[in-house]
């Protein structure tokens, strides 16, 4: 079940919130746990035991650590128990076939692959629960004694399948004591509708262009399209993935507010960045924070020699790429950013800071290349796409697509910047404006969902 669906909007969400608001305060976490498990199991009941196992393992591991603080060996065993389980589960479901395929290709073997559907959100909730056990081990937070409260944290449905990656330290107080009032619910509804509009009205519409060109690439090949169309398709994908993921994150944050939780911000207009260093402070902020806190700093961070620093960055960005998918293009995508981040650390960032226009062009140009690398998993097709992008071939095919998508291109470009933020913040205080504006977005999004069959969510495969 996804947020941008008629099933969620008009069945699950009204029923879930009605039940949640009506139950007494002492039963709210239990209600949230049950509702979240129903939400998760709706389309994938077979993975229900996996979710329960995740709750039980990290609950028992943290309890073991908390009750044996004076015994370092037992504490370490508790941490290893949690980390091995979480990474093992993630590795089995997400990366088994990747390693089997590469072993077969490398050594000429015929090892069988495993056929199964990747559990929804596994990359997100394994990192989330693993960070909790690590924080308990480091003494940053006390272990949760109430398994109902802990289970509610793990499976909290707004952020369960696509983030933001909410750490226990972000909401542990709210799990015990949270206030739910009308202004907070109103703010949550506004954020949810903005996220819904971003996902449905922008990401879905502009993404249709990339999907059509991708199909041409898989059939006739990317070499059959013109160079302007190749660049236009990659630009469409860059808008799709931003509004798709940021929109879904915004819906999650809005739903969290409606439940009484404050989730961390996940996007902050990343396309206005003037360096890749800045971009990764603005894009998927909770993932960047996770890798910095639990991988980069334990490796030594930047308080090491230059050679060690570059090694740390290499490990972090290879892991970041691999986290996104079990394919070489994702690893290359992560290392693509590693190269530019190293270049910027070596002094190029100072050049970018002195030349505003150049820095924006630099970021957008290479970001488009990175999204091409991210979008195409077949390396042969990727090579054809880059060939068409950089070996110019004319044509008129791009004119047809530009005529059909020019409006959503302009809208997506403007809304990916804070150009209208000030105006929105002023108008948002007017109740009549809110009623008309948010009502129109919700009605338009609903109409689209009722009529359309194209409603992908890119981060489901991660």
User: What letter does residue 296 receive in the DSSP assignment?
Assistant: I
* Structural tokens at position 387: 């060939």
Other CB atoms within a 10 A radius of the CB of residue 184 amount to 17
Q: Is there a contact between 323 and 294 (Cβ–Cβ < 8 Å)?
A: no
Tokens, residue 231: 């660049």
Q: 132: closest CA among 164, 162, 94, 169? A: 169
Cβ atoms of 276 and 363 within 8 Å: the answer is yes
Catalytic residue chosen out of the listed positions 68, 284, 324, 355 = 324
Question: Can you state the angle between helices 227-259 and 379-390, rounded to 10 degrees?
Answer: 120
User: Residue 316's Cα: distance from chain center in Å?
Assistant: 17
Phi, psi of 161 (to 5 degrees): -105, -10
Distance of CA 41 to CAs 7, 92, 174, 243, 455, Å?
Answer: 14, 20, 25, 26, 20
pLDDT number for residue 118: 80
3-state secondary structure at position 119 = coil
- Rounded CA separation 409/208 (Å): 12
65: nearest Cα among 128, 134, 147, 130? 134
Contact by Cβ (8 Å): 180, 261: no
Q: What is the DSSP letter of 111?
A: P
Q: What is the pLDDT of residues 137-165, one digit of tens each?
A: 999 999 999 999 999 999 999 988 777 99
Q: Is the bond preceding residue 101 a cis peptide, omega within 30 degrees?
A: no
Question: Contact, 427 vs 433, CB < 8 A?
Answer: yes
Q: Which residues contact 118 (CB under 8 A, 6 or more apart)?
A: 93, 94, 461
What whole-number distance in Å separates Cα of residue 297 and Cα of residue 398?
46
Q: How far apart are CA 234 and CA 366, in angstroms?
A: 11
Identify whether the C-beta of residue 438 lies closer than 8 Å to the C-beta of residue 190: yes
pLDDT for position 462: 56
Contact assessment for residue 422 and residue 83, using Cβ atoms and an 8 Å cutoff:
no
Q: Tokens 């902020």 sit at which residue?
A: 285
324 part of the active site: yes
CB neighbours (10 Å) of residue 294?
A: 17
In 3D space, the residue among 99, 108, 65, 102 whose CA is nearest the CA of residue 83 turns out to be 65
Question: Cα–Cα distance between 243 and 450 in angstroms, integer?
Answer: 20
Q: How far is CA 103 from the centre of its chain?
A: 29
Residue 164 near residue 40, CB atoms below 8 Å: no
The DSSP code sequence of 325-393 is -SSHHHHHHHHHHHHHHHHIIIIIHHHHHH-HHHHHHHHHHHHHHHHHHHH---HHHHHHHHHHHHS--
Taking residue 201's Cβ as centre, other Cβ atoms within 10 Å add up to 20
Regions of the chain where pLDDT drops below 50: none
- pLDDT on residue 460: 57
3-state secondary structure 133-194: HHHHHHCCCCCCCCHHHHHHHHHCHHHCCCCCCCCHHHHHHHHHCCCCCHHHHHHHHHHHHH
Nearest to 411 by CA among 239, 238, 271: 239
Tokens 């091409």 locate to 372
Are the C-beta atoms of 373 and 204 separated by less than 8 Å? no
- Residue ranges per domain, the chain? 6-178, 184-461
pLDDT, tens digit, 9 for 90 and up, residues 275-331: 999 999 999 999 999 999 999 999 998 889 999 999 999 999 999 999 998 899 999
Tell me, rounded to whole angstroms, the distance of Cα 73 from its chain centroid: 35
pLDDT (tens digit per residue) in 440-457: 999 999 998 987 766 676
- pLDDT confidence of residue 111: 87
Cα(321)–Cα(160) distance, rounded to whole angstroms?
Answer: 21
């Amino acid at each position: 079940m996804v947020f941008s669906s008629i099933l969620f909007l008009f069945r699950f969400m009204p029923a879930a919130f009605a039940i949640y608001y009506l139950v007494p305060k002492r039963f709210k976490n239990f209600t949230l746990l049950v509702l979240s498990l129903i939400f998760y199991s709706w389309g994938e009941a077979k993975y229900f035991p996996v979710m329960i196992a995740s709750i039980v393992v990290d609950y028992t591991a943290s309890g073991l650590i908390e009750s044996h603080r004076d015994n370092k060996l037992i504490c370490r065993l508790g941490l290893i128990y949690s980390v091995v389980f979480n990474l093992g589960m993630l590795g089995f479901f997400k990366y088994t076939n990747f390693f089997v395929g590469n072993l077969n290709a490398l050594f000429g073997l015929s090892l069988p692959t495993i056929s199964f559907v990747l559990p929804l959100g596994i990359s997100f909730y394994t990192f989330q629960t693993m960070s909790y056990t690590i924080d308990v081990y480091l003494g940053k937070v006390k272990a949760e004694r109430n398994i109902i409260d802990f289970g509610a944290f793990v499976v909290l449905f707004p952020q369960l399948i696509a983030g933001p990656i909410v750490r226990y330290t972000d909401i542990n107080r709210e799990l015990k004591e949270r206030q739910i009032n009308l202004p907070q619910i109103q703010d949550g509804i506004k954020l949810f509708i903005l996220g819904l509009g971003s996902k449905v009205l922008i990401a879905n519409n502009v993404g249709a262009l990339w999907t059509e060109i991708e199909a041409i690439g898989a059939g006739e090949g990317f070499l059959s399209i013109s160079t302007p169309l190749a660049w236009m398709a990659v630009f469409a994908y860059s808008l799709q993935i931003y509004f798709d993921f940021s929109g879904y994150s915004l819906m999650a944050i809005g739903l969290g507010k409606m439940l009484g939780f404050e989730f961390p911000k996940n996007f902050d207009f990343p396309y206005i960045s003037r360096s890749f260093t800045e971009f990764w402070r603005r894009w998927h902020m909770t993932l960047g924070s996770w890798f910095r806190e639990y991988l980069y700093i334990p490796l030594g961070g930047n308080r090491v020699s230059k050679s060690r620093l570059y090694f740390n960055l290499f490990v972090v960005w290879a892991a970041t790429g691999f986290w996104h998918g079990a394919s070489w293009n994702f690893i290359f995508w992560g290392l693509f950013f590693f190269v530019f981040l190293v270049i910027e650390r070596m002094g190029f960032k100072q050049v970018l800071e002195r030349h505003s226009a150049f820095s924006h062009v630099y970021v957008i140009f290479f970001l488009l290349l990175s999204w091409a690398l991210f979008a195409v998993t077949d390396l042969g097709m990727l090579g054809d796409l880059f060939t068409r992008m950089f070996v110019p071939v004319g044509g008129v095919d791009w004119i047809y697509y530009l005529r059909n998508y020019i409006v959503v291109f302009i809208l997506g470009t403007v809304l990916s910047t804070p150009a209208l933020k000030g105006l929105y913040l002023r108008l948002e205080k007017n109740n009549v404006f809110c009623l008309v504006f948010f009502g129109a977005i919700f009605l338009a999004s609903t109409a689209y969902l009722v009529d359309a069959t194209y409603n992908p969510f890119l981060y489901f495969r991660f």
